[in-house]
Every structure is written in structure tokens, then in C-alpha cells.
Structure 1
Amino acid sequence: MIPRQVYRTAIKQHRVLGFAGRRLQSNKASPKELALQSHLPKIENPDTPDRDINPKRKLPKPAYESENFKVPEWKRAFGELFINVFRIDMDNVRAGTMGGSKYYYMCKDQGLQFKDEPLSETAIFWYQTLGLPRTFGQWFQITGLHVWLLFVRMRAMPFKVGKNYQQKLVDKFFKDIELRLSEEMNILSGQIRESYMKDFHSQLLGITFSYDEALASNSDSVLAAALWRNVFNGDKNIDNVKLEALVRYVRMQLYILNKISDRAFGFGDFEFVAPNETIEPLTPQEEEKLREATRQKYEPQNGKILPSNRSSLSLDE
């Protein structure tokens, strides 16, 4: 992917910038390394709501979500012809395939956990390094944070396109929640599921508002307060080192999202920076290299662009 190829020179370095281009830290610790410096013992918070409805089994991903899934060549050729003849708006189509599929699963997988199963590397950061409870409600908060991060970038896209990406992302989020409540949590009552869904919808609105406030204020303290209230559930015993680590983690994601073009982001060329990595700002030369790599990938010099790769999204913004 374009961002990873170019940012690889900046990853595992020592400076972290926020979304305003302001230098935040000067040490070499990644969010995970910083959180591990916490020396306070874990103290259970009796005020934390018990929302632990651990899944009994995990749902398999649809075949088209599998990394090994390949479309037969004849179907691919027919699809290109169909797109060309009917002049289908591929930016609208990609809102579903990227915003409502790839990007949602990226958000979902960050803190995904199943009972009696080993944790992924990213889930280890959330549940072991930061010491968050392994509950469904906590998974929702982690996923909601990453959904908001993508919201920030989607809002910077042309209004109609960005709104479509956001809508597809939210639709998939809540469809997945309802499915998990029914199939994994064995909540068969439609009334109870509806009650949960309303609660999660209210929480997502609150998450978005609080993080937007932090974004608008350009203040680390406001961002830390929002993360403390939502991700850490207002735990008064939280170690500030862990809170600082999460602030650093969010700043890294926002910096990378700020540097990727609309075209590359719209085509799914974005990955979250892992908690065990750090970043430093790109030089002007590296930024130009990123733009050039984007142009070469999406607008080749021979001018032959498949109908499915057509887009009105900017290569530079």
C-alpha cells in the first residue's frame, strides 16, 4: 500500500506530531512502550458497569471478506464492461466496499476478543497493556474510537463522497452489533436487542461529540479527558502514563490520516499505525514522493485506467 511504503521510512522513529503539525513528544517510546512504563498496580473500579457479555462463538467472515478470495477473470471482465456501459459512479460503489467493509473490519479488529481465545497483537495493547476489561461494551468503545478517526478523514473528502463513506461505515457497524447480539450473545429477544442498539447509538453520538470537541480545541488535555471518559470509563484509578500513551496513539493516527490523499484513502490505501510503532513527520521531499507514488498508481502514464479504477477524488488532497 502506498502509505506503508512511503511511511516506512518514518515509522519506528522518535517524534510524534498531532493533527495541527505540532510537536508533541521527543522521546522514543511508542504508545505501547510508554504504557508499559506505568508502575501503578491495577485497581478494580467498583463503579465500572458490568457489561461483559462475552461471545460464545465468533461469526465467520463472508467469503468476499477473506484475503484468499479471488474473483474469476470472466466475472472481472464482465464487471468492467458493465461499469463502462452504464457509467457507474465507482466512488459511490467504493463507499460500500471500503467504508462499509474494509475500513469497518479494520476498526472492528483492533480490540476484537473472544472468550478462551488468545488475543491479537493490537488487542493485547488494549486489554493487557492498558488493562481494560474484556467486555463487549469495551470493544464497542475501542471500535468507536477508530470509527471516529476515520470520520475525521472522511469529512475532509468532497461532501457527497465523504458522507456516503461515513454512512456505509456506520451502517455496517450497527448491522454487525445487532448480528453479534443475536448470534454470538444469544440475545433472542428483539425488544432487548433494540434496547441495546439504542444505547449503543447514543454512546456513538457521545463519542463523536467528545472527540470532535478535542479535535476542535487542539488541546491534549481535552483529548485526554475525552479518552478517559469513554475508553477508560472515567476510572479514577487510571495511571496517567497509560492515558498519555493513548493520546499519543490517537495523534499518530490523525497525522497519518492528514497526509494521505483523498484518492489513496478512498481506494483503501490506509492502515492504522500499530501501538508498538512510532512516527515522525515526513520531510517535504518524502511528501512529494508520496504524492508521486499515488499519481503513478492511480493515473499511469500510459493513460489506461480500468473503468473500476475511475475516480473523481483528488490525488493531492
Structure 2
Amino acid sequence: MIKHSSICKSVLSQLKLTPSSRVLFHQSSQVYDEKKADAKILKSPEELTKESHLESKPIDFSNYAPVRPGKRKTLLSDSKYESKNYQLPRWKEAFGELIIKTFNLDMDKVRSGPVAGSYYYGLCKNVALQYEGEELSRSAKFFYEDLRLPRTFSQWFQITVLHEWILFVRMRAMPFKYGRNYQQKLVDRTFSDIETRLFDEMNVTSGRIVDQYLKDFNTQLRGAVFAYDEGFYTDDATLASALWRNLFGGRKNIDMVHLEAVVRYVRSQLYVLSRMSDRDFAVGAFKFVSPDESVERLTAEQEASLKEKTIKKYEAMDSDPNILPSDRSQLSYKN
């Protein structure tokens, strides 16, 4: 179960989110001066797409293939047991704490299932999830309407993979034995969910066809991760090329403004993740920045203040003699 207490708040809770404006990192008592004369206001990815004057359309724009809402499969993270506000009955919680203490379970490994395999997968899946006859979410509108991507199951998978890769980057920065576990749980949950959706939501009745789809999606995932990694470690031009080939399907009528907006969107997510400690990220204290919000870099003073607050928070938590076994962690909060 994911623990969401006042101790485990996301770095994003320390951000000032301004719709269609920008995201400013700040500390609770020291907010960046928005009226500063020399402050450069970056447009959000969504705002950037409005600058497009090219009437580009995806090749198969009319080929809608959303799943049927009547056969929707709920996420594991939709369960009340995975809800941030859910509280186990006291006897169940006490029994669980006893098991953890008796067998000295490594909670940093145990958390990978509910955090990566449920909560983080839910974040990635829901970004562009769409159903026939239902209104699109704000993030889904960015991809399907602003970027004019086709509303197909395959396109949803590509958008989901992009967000999973963003999380992979942060997971690989964790200690190897934990980061690898988080990645594996996320991938396992992805393909388990896709298999279920193909059968129950897309009405695919042949196991052989589903297996072929899964193999194809696995190939796409590996190729996308490799391409995005290359872009991440080189420059924005290489990253844009990877996004064009995967997210936009290598279309010839791609709008460069749209491509720039996605690069900005990706870099914003990566920057927020880079400011998070292993401890915060591992307990599920992250959510993607909305496309209608932009991210500005912290000043050196703000970074130092944020780091100091994080250290104090976890030092107080770890020194508490009443800390529950399930809240213990060996992961760093100083990085």
C-alpha cells in the first residue's frame, strides 16, 4: 500500500501551478518574484502549440478507434486500497506492520509494486486515455487536439510509453537494485493491462492475435526507449527526431511548432524529476506537470532551501522512535 502522509509530500506540492502560465519552484515562505522585471516567462507547451499556422492533420485522423466505455477495465490504482486517502482497518494495518517487522522486509523493494506497478502506471496510462463518447481530459486534449495526433489505441500506447520513459530516466538514477525493480514492475503492469484491454475493451477474441500485438508493442517500447535515451544524452534536436519517429509516426506533414512543444513538455518533466530525492520519488510523490503549465528553473538559493527542507523532514521522520516499519527506507533524501 502507498503511504501518503504529510511527511511524504511531492516536490510538486512546492510548485506554484498557474493555468496557462508557468510553474514556479518555491519554498513555503519564499516565493519567486513573479513581477521581477528581468524574469523570462516561458510559454507552456499548450500555449506554444497555439503559435502554429500550419494546418497539419495526421494521416489517419478520421480513423478513430477509442475503446468502448461499457467494457472499461479499472486500474489497480483505481482500487480503494491504492487510493491516497484510504486507511486500512487498524487490525489489518497492525498485522501488516508485524509481518514487515518480523521478516525484516525491505520496504524499498516492497513499495515498487504499488508505487511503480500501480500508481505510476496509472499516471502514464491516464495522460491520454480516451473512450468513445466521453470528453477528453485536459492532458488528452493536448495530444489529440492541440498536437492533432490520431485517437487510436496504438497512439495511446506511444503516448503512454513516452511518459514511462520519462519515469525510467529517474528510476535509473536510483540505486541499481531498486531502480531496476521499479522499472520491471512498471513494464509488467503495462503489458498485463494492455493484454486485458485488448480482450475486454477492444474485443480481440484471438489469443494468437493478442500475443502478436504484445510482441509488436514490446518492440515499440524497446525502440522508443533507446531513441529517447539517445536524445536525452545528446541534444534537443536528437530528442525531437526521436519524438518525430515514435510519437508522430514519422509523418511528413509534421508541424515544427508542435514538435518544439513536446520537447519542452518532456524537458519540463525531466527537470522536475531531477529535483526530487530518491526517497520522495520512491514513495510515489510525483505527478506529471500539466501541458498548460510551464516550468522555470530554481535559483541556487531556492535549490539549497528546498534541499535543506527535505533533509530536515526525513531526519525528523527517521529519528522518530514511533516510526512504523512500513515507513522506513534506506533510500537517500539528500541527492
For 1:167 and 1:128, locate their aligned partners in 2 and report how far apart those are by CA, in whole Å: 32
More deviation, 70-79/156-165: 70-79
Q: 1:196 aligns with which of 213, 217, 223?
A: 213
Q: Is 2:253 the partner of 1:237?
A: yes
Give 5+ residue unaligned stretches, structure 1.
17-24
For 2:23 and 2:155, locate their aligned partners in 1 and report how far apart those are by CA, in whole Å: 30
TM-score (norm 1): 0.90
For 2:17 and 2:129, locate their aligned partners in 1 and report how far apart those are by CA, in whole Å: 29
Instruction: Note the 1:14-93 alignment, pairs <5 A.
Output: 27-45=41-59, 53-57=65-69, 58-62=72-76, 63=79, 64-66=81-83, 69-93=86-110
More deviation, 246-255/34-43: 34-43
> Is the contact made by 2:17 and 2:24 (CA closer than 8 Å) also made in structure 1?
no
Q: CA deviation at 1:160?
A: 0.4
Structure 1 pair 15/35, CA: closer, same or farther in 2 (3 Å)?
A: farther
- Between Structure 1 and Structure 2, how many residues are aligned? 306
2:315 partner amino acid: E
More deviation, 304-313/200-209: 304-313
Instruction: Note the 1:83-232 alignment, pairs <5 A.
Output: 83-217=100-234, 219-232=235-248
For 2:189 and 2:128, locate their aligned partners in 1 and report how far apart those are by CA, in whole Å: 17
Structure 1 pair 32/10, CA: closer, same or farther in 2 (3 Å)?
A: closer
> Is the contact made by 2:58 and 2:149 (CA closer than 8 Å) also made in structure 1?
no
Q: Is 2:16 the partner of 1:3?
A: no
The CA deviation string for residues 186-234 of structure 1, in whole angstroms up to 9 with x for no partner, is 11110000000000000000100100111121x1110111111111111
Structure 1 pair 76/293, CA: closer, same or farther in 2 (3 Å)?
A: farther
For 1:69 and 1:14, locate their aligned partners in 2 and report how far apart those are by CA, in whole Å: 29
> Is the contact made by 2:124 and 2:160 (CA closer than 8 Å) also made in structure 1?
yes
> Is the contact made by 2:15 and 2:24 (CA closer than 8 Å) also made in structure 1?
no
Percent identity between matched residues is: 50
Residue 224 of structure 2 aligns to a residue whose secondary structure is helix
Residue 8 of structure 1 aligns to a residue whose secondary structure is strand
Structure 1 pair 240/26, CA: closer, same or farther in 2 (3 Å)?
A: farther
Give 5+ residue unaligned stretches, structure 2.
1-8, 26-38
> Is the contact made by 1:252 and 1:279 (CA closer than 8 Å) also made in structure 2?
yes
For 2:84 and 2:106, locate their aligned partners in 1 and report how far apart those are by CA, in whole Å: 25
Q: CA deviation at 1:66?
A: 4.3
Q: CA deviation at 1:270?
A: 1.1
Q: Is 2:298 the partner of 1:282?
A: yes
The CA deviation string for residues 9-48 of structure 1, in whole angstroms up to 9 with x for no partner, is 89944899xxxxxxxx9553100000111111133426x9
Residue in 1 aligned with 2:3? none
Structure 1 pair 79/289, CA: closer, same or farther in 2 (3 Å)?
A: farther
